[in-house]
A and B are shown apart, each in its own frame.
Chain A
Amino acid sequence: MQPILKVENLTKVFKSSGRPDFTAVDHIGFELMPGECLGLIGESGSGKSTVANLITRLTDMSEGKVILDGQDISRLSGRGLRDAYRKMQMVFQTPTESFDPRRSLGDGIGESLRNLGQSRAEVKARVGSLLTQCGLTPDFAGRYPHQVSGGQCQRAAIARAIAIEPRLLICDEATSALDVTIQKEVVQLLGRLREQLHLSILFICHDIALVQQFCDRVLVMYKGKIVEEGVPDAVIRNPRNEYTKRLIESIL
C-alpha cells in the first residue's frame, strides 16, 4: 500500500545574521499510511510545529522531500500547491486566532468551498451540515470567533479542515489550548471523523497520555531529530532512547 504521506530527509535551518544557524528540523523521515493516526511528541522547541509547517509548505524547507499521496509537493507553488491543499488540511493550536476576527465562522469554514467555485447557497448548506457533523448547530456560522468558546471554535476549525474532504489531517497541538474535559470531547470528535471520512491523521502533541490513547504509532522528537518510533504502549513501557525515558518519567 502506498503511504498517504512520505517525508524524506526533511530539514529546516533558520538563518539569521549575527547568530549561528539554528537547525529546527534535522533530516527527518517517516511514512504515514492511509487511515493511520501517527503521533508526534516532544518538548516545546523540539521542532514539532515546524514539521507541520514544512509539510503544509507554509514554511519553506531547507532540504528534503514531502510526498503527498504519491506526488512530490516540495517544490510546488501557486496553483499546484492550492490543488495539493485539497488533500491535506490542518487544525491549529490556537482556535480563536485561526479565524479572521472580522469574518464569521461560516465564512472561514466555507472559504475553501467558495474557492472551488461553489455557489453561495451550496456553501451555506454545506457549512451547516459540517457544523452539525462537528457537534455544533448551523447558527454558529453567523457567529464571530470572539463570540464562541475555545472548544466551540476548535470544532469550527475542524469543520473548516474537513470541508473539502481531505485525506490527511494535521493536528498541530489542536487540543493543547483547551481544558481537559473539552480536550476529551475534541479528541472523540476527531476519532469519529477519522472513522467516517477515512482520514489519516498526523497528531502533533506534547501530551503522551493523549497520544497513547489516540494514536496507532508514535514518533518522539528531540532537538529536531526523531529519536524513537513505535507503538505508543511499547514506547512508553520500554523506552530505548535516553530522552524518551526522561520525557516519560517527567509525566509519570
Chain B
Amino acid sequence: MTPSIRKPRIIKNSVKKRLILFGILAALLVIASLLSDHLTPFDPYLQDLSNAKAAPSQQHIFGTDRYGRDMLSRVIVGSRTSIFSTLLLVAIITAIGTVIGVFCGWHGKKIDTVLMRISDMFLAFPGLVFALAVAGVLGGGLHNAIFALAAISWPKYARIARSQTLAQKETPYLRAARLSGSGTVKILARHVLPNIIGPILVTSMLDIGTMMMELAGLSFLGLGAKPPIAEWGSMMSENRALFTTVPWITLAPGLAIFISVMVFNLLGDTVRDYADPRTRGR
C-alpha cells in the first residue's frame, strides 16, 4: 500500500483519539462543575481572617484569599458558575441564532433583509465593548452578563443557519418532500434542520472557549457575577490588588480559566476536524 492511500486512515484515527480524549476531559470538567458542592475540601464562603493571604501549603493547595477563604474550594465552586453559565450561554445563542437564520433563509423577502441588516449592525460592533455597554445599562449580575453576551453573539449563528438553509432550499429532495405532501414545518424539522445542524454545532463547540473568556472578562470588570459568589473572573479581579505582594492568589482562578478554555477549544477544533469530510476520509 502506498503512503498516500494510508494517510487518511491515520488522520481519521488520530482525530478520533483526540475526540475521545478531549471529550472525556470536557465531560470531567462539566461533571466536576455539577458536583462541585461535594468536591470542596473547605467551605468556600467561610472566612478565617487569622489565616488570610496564606501561601500555598499542604492544607490549602492554592493558598487563601484576603478573607482567609480556601482558594481551591472557591475555584471548584466557581466552576459551576463559569462552566455552567458558559454552556447555557452557548446553548441560548445557538438556538436563537439557528431559529432566526432558518426563518430568514426559508422565508426570504423583506423580513429577511430587515433581520440580516440588524445582525450586520451587531457584527459591526466590537463585541466586548457592546456587551460592556449592555451590561452597564442593565447593571451587573451574572444573568445580565449572559444576556449581554447573547445579544451580541447570535448573529454569527443566524448567518451560518441562513446560508445553509438557502443552500438546502432548492435541493431536489426538498421538492420531493413537498410533493410527498409534507408541510413546511415537517420539511424544516425532518429535512432542513438535520442537514444544516452539523456546521452550526461545530461553531458552537468552538465558541465555548471564547464565551468562557468573555464571561470571565465581564466578571473581571465587575459586570458579571457579584461577590461573594465565586466566579473565576471576579475572583481574579478581587485579588488583583494583592498581585504584587501575594502573586499566587490569582494563580488558581487563572489556571482554572486557562485549562477549561484550552480543553473546550481543543475539543471544538477536534470536532471541526472530525466533522470535515476532507480530514475524516471515507
A interface list, Cβ under 8 A from B: 56, 58, 78, 82, 85-86, 88-90, 92-94, 97-103, 108, 111-112, 115-116, 157, 160, 164
Contact = CB atoms under 8 A, between A and B. Distances in A.
A97 B178 CA distance: 14
A116 B175 contact: no
Interface stretch (B8-16, B156-164, B179-187, B218-226): B179-187
Contacts of A58: 175, 178-179
A108 B173 contact: yes
A98 B180 contact: no
Interface residues of B, number: 17
B176 interface: yes
A103 B178 CA distance: 15
Contacts of A94: 172
Given A94-B172, A97-B172, A102-B195, A111 B177 contact: yes
Contacts of A101: 173, 195
Given A98-B176, A102-B195, A108-B176, A85 B171 contact: no
Contacts of B228: none
B182 A97 contact: no
Contacts of A100: 173, 177, 190-191, 195
Nearest to B176: A98
A14 to B, nearest CB: 14
Contacts of A164: 181
B204 to A, nearest CB: 19
B195 A160 contact: no
B3 interface: no
A157 B191 CA distance: 17
A57 to B, nearest CB: 9
B194 interface: yes
Contacts of A78: 183
Residue among A89, A111, A115, A157 with the highest chain B CB neighbour number at 10 A: A111
Contacts of B177: 100, 108, 111
B134 to A, nearest CB: 37
Interface in B22-59: none
